[in-house]
Amino acid sequence: MYLIFILIFQESILYEYLPRSLMAIVFVFTGFYSLYKKHKIAIYYILAWVFLFLSLFIAEHELIGLDEIYILHIAFPLESLILSFALGYKLKQNLDKKEENDKILVHQSKLASMGEMINNISHQWRQPLTHLSFINMNISLAYEDNDLSEKYLNDKLNESNTQIEFMSETIDNFRDFYKPKKTKEYFLISSASQKAIDIIKPSLNFYNISISFNIEQDKRIKAFENEYSQVILNLLTNAKDVLVQRRIKDPSIYIDIKIENNRSVLYLYDNAGGIKDEIIEKVFEPYFSTKEKSSGIGLYMSKTIIESHFKGDISVYNNLNGACFRIEL
């Protein structure tokens, strides 16, 4: 409205009735109200507007022997400078908040990974534990029948030790898989992908989910292999969960590795029917999930790893049978 009056009358009518310093003092009180609401950044605004108020007040009442135009030439740049500091402080606050949120997301991602790790270990251990149970039962029955010979006992002990060694190796594999590495190493995309497949394979077998791994053309890159494997494991876990949830007949997961335009491209897709069009653009957002009891940060962290750590790209689209994730490095 004020600007309209200026355009119509070609002059500032408001200033004929109200001093400009009064307008500035309104800003000052606004700043104090914002500070009262616990917005620390308001201190900068208060400082800038108090300085502007004093300058305008001095100029209006000619308190010093200096022309008004020179006072304003000093006041406005200094006000802008203080407000620039306020903007810088606000940006720093936003960056600090984003960094803190990222730390929370990483922590939640680690907790989710631990849960998946325990779930996969349980599938890895189920068969050897059952085997150990049968060994104990056989030894017990042999003892009751007075048929526990030294050779039979040694055979069963060796059989038992084999199962225990397998379980111990499982723990070592999972420990190495999730252990962060400090230096980048050369590795093949297929090797990193195979590590993820080996981790989740028992779980896929438990749900009768087949997995096809096709390497058309491989590539060696220098980066953190475990991080790439964790991304693949996360995509495999999501595919497995959807296949189980939707009770897909003949559930299948496919992984294809190719070279396109001299860049490594991995396609991971399933036959679970795909992602709804209205939500497919949101799957990489933090805390977004269509699964119950899910943190919704797995795909967000996968995107962060691929784009920030590998300088690559990850995307998703629907093909004829299901969702297809594409990773390009």
Q: Please report which confidence band the pLDDT of residue 324 belongs to, taking 50, 70 and 90 as the band edges.
A: very high
Mean residue pLDDT across the chain:
76
How much is the average pLDDT of 55-81? 65
What pLDDT does residue 117 have? 65
How much is the average pLDDT of 122-133? 72
Helical H runs in the chain?
A: 2-9, 14-17, 20-36, 42-61, 68-144, 150-178, 189-206, 225-245, 298-304
Q: Which residues contact 269 (CB under 8 A, 6 or more apart)?
A: 239, 253, 254, 319, 321, 322, 323, 324, 325
Residue 99's Cβ-count burial label (10 Å; 0-12, 13-18, 19+) is exposed
What pLDDT does residue 254 have? 95
Q: Which CATH superfamily is domain 183-328 in?
A: Histidine kinase-like ATPase, C-terminal domain (3.30.565.10)
Alpha-carbon span 24 to 52, nearest angstrom: 7
3-class secondary-structure state, position 244: helix
How much is the average pLDDT of 134-144? 80
What pLDDT does residue 181 have? 64
pLDDT higher at 81 or 183: 183
Name residue, tokens 């038992």: 160
Residue 189 pLDDT > 60, yes or no? yes
Of 68-77, 219-228, 237-246, 273-282, least confident by mean pLDDT is 68-77
Residue 326 pLDDT > 90, yes or no? yes
Residue 160 pLDDT > 60, yes or no? yes
Q: Which pairing describes strands 210-215 and 323-328: parallel, antiparallel, or unpaired?
A: unpaired
Q: Please report which confidence band the pLDDT of residue 204 belongs to, taking 50, 70 and 90 as the band edges.
A: confident
How much is the average pLDDT of 46-55? 69
How much is the average pLDDT of 119-143? 75
pLDDT higher at 128 or 189: 189
Question: Model confidence over 222-264: pLDDT tens digits?
Answer: 888 888 888 898 899 889 988 988 898 899 999 999 998 889 9
